[in-house]
Amino acid sequence: MAMEGMAEGGWIAAHVPGEGALTLDARPFPALAGRGTLLLEFTTGADFAGPIRLIHLATRTPEPRLLSLAITPERRIEVIQLQGAAFHALSIDASTELATGGRMRLSWRWDTADRQSLLTLEALDTGTLRQNAGADPLPLPRIDLEALTNRTGAARIGLQVDWLALGDHLQPVGPAGCFAPATQIETPQGPRPANLIRAGDLVETVDAGAQPVLWSGRVSLPALGALRPVRLCAPVYGRTRDLWLLPQHRIAVAGPAVQGLFASEEVLVESRHLVDGRGALQPDRAATLTWQGILLQDHHLLIADGCRIESLGLGRLARSTALAMTTALADLAAKGRLPVHDTPARPILSDHDARRLATARDRGSRAA
């Protein structure tokens, strides 16, 4: 499902190169999709040389039609639609992100009723977001949506694309979901499932005691690529039950390896860096999963069945109003109530340092 207040509908189908089409919902695509979201992940090297076609679908029957998503030689990402005499184009400057290379997530949202088109690029390895909005997108016929997910007819998917998903809803971008809705979060009244916690409720934090919740909500995402869930197994992490997190969500890690490498008692590590095939797993399952997020005024550590996990961290999102208005937190942004999280609850490890820690912990466990 989409975030409350964003739009009805949801993810319908996906395509993974080498695996083929994946059904995410039994509903068919609408005959003519006046709104929807195309989401994909791709990978480039720092030695990028364009142009690169990510998606290309061209046909001449019953009239000329084109849907193209490509990286230009100027390092812009552009979407182009052509349907008979009607034309729509929108591009975004991705020169900084492509100069670095790495894993990228791209979403294109179209809404013909509101005449809005939105292109968003997220650099997964650096966490940056870049966005551009346009007007007057064209509706997409079912035959084109099915051609992309089935990779049939004239549909072409670039070699750089890791996967793509299509839905008939408007997917919010940016931070929102964190952990499984059933995650037991400590409150002054005792543990409570995250999906039953509302704005205004109190939750316990490690350093600041009970804190009021500014926002609690859900977002649904395809469990593909960099969105595959991480399962932290009990009792290694949670005391009595497994914890399910998005791979980018961080938990607090302590121990001799942390102190020895970083001279800190506790650090924050993305859950994907904890995957070791034993206490932390990353199942591969074709599904749409719903994730819950809890936002506090400051960045804090929540307590989930004894495991310390971070509350939703926004960084400086509040200082980019236009971007914040396209996220699941749009209502708070409109009221000017989004907090700025300049200071994380604990030092956050880079990917490089997280790998160093994983190696040190693995050596320690083998020695034990």
| pLDDT of 364 | 66
Q: What average pLDDT does the segment 241-257 reach?
A: 95
C-alpha dist (Å) from residue 104 to 56, 76, 163, 271, 345:
18, 13, 11, 19, 27
The answer to whether the peptide bond before residue 283 is cis (omega within 30 degrees of 0) is no
| pLDDT of 286 | 74
Quick check: 62 pLDDT over 90?
Answer: no
For residue range 306-365, what is the model confidence (pLDDT) as tens digits? 999 999 999 999 999 999 999 999 999 999 999 999 999 999 999 999 999 988 887 766
| pLDDT of 65 | 94
- Give the separation between CA 22 and CA 14, rounded to whole angstroms: 5
| pLDDT of 5 | 38
| pLDDT of 229 | 96
Quick check: 37 pLDDT over 80?
Answer: yes
How many percent of the chain have pLDDT more than 90?
84
Determine how β-strand 65-71 pairs with β-strand 76-83: antiparallel
| Banded pLDDT at 367 (limits 50, 70, 90) | low
* DSSP state letters, 232-259: E-TTTSSSSS-EEE-TT-EEEEESHHHH
Quick check: 139 pLDDT over 80?
Answer: yes
Q: What average pLDDT does the segment 15-28 reach?
A: 93
Quick check: 368 pLDDT over 60?
Answer: no
Mean pLDDT of the chain: 92
| pLDDT of 366 | 60
| pLDDT of 91 | 97
Least confident of 6-10, 77-81, 102-106: 6-10
| pLDDT of 365 | 65
* DSSP state letters, 279-334: SEE-----SEEEEEEEE-SS--EEEETTEEEEPPP-TTGGG-HHHHTTBTTHHHHH
For residue range 96-131, what is the model confidence (pLDDT) as tens digits? 999 888 999 999 999 999 999 999 999 998 888 999
Least confident of 38-52, 134-148, 157-171, 215-229: 38-52
The phi, psi pair for 143, rounded to 5°, reads: -60, -35
In whole angstroms, how large is the CA radius of gyration of the chain? 21
Residue 347 belongs to what H/E stretch?
none
pTM of the prediction? 0.92
Nearest C-alpha neighbor of 246 from the set 267, 236, 231, 266: 231
Nearest C-alpha neighbor of 115 from the set 84, 79, 139: 139
Residue 59 belongs to what H/E stretch?
strand 52-59
